[in-house]
Structure 1
Amino acid sequence: MAFRFWCGECGFKTAWLAEYEGAQRQLEHYAKQHPGIPAGGHVETNRKNPEGRSGCLRTLGVLVLLLILTAMCRY
């Protein structure tokens, strides 16, 4: 699933990432930009593409498999 983390202090937001990676980036942002303030803000879930990056890879894999099967059937 893909998540975007928003800073509660400024307009910073992470890219769409896995939950752990997004949380890490948000913590790094707070340590650098807002030292001494506990991480806050909110988390957004990508509802249009809940699979995140892996969904694209799966689709690409299926398309390649179909291409190979089509090529095998023609000869």
Structure 2
Amino acid sequence: MTLPQWYIEREEEARKMRRESADWEFINSLPPRQRAAVMLFIELGALRLAQRISGLPLEDFIELLRRAGVWIP
């Protein structure tokens, strides 16, 4: 099964926005598990997977993303 081109382009644009808005200095200062979770979210946009990896409750993980400057739709 092949994804439609419009979907691929939309996902790439969202990934680009997340990368550009991120505060990489802050992200690199995080503990390894949280840093990996934030980076996974930036690359894949998989909120619940990244949240589970972080070990934080969903609300706390979203707050962490906001502090990291990561664009959240």
Q: TM-score, normalised by structure 2?
A: 0.26
Structure with the largest fraction of helix: 2
Normalising by structure 1, what TM-score? 0.26
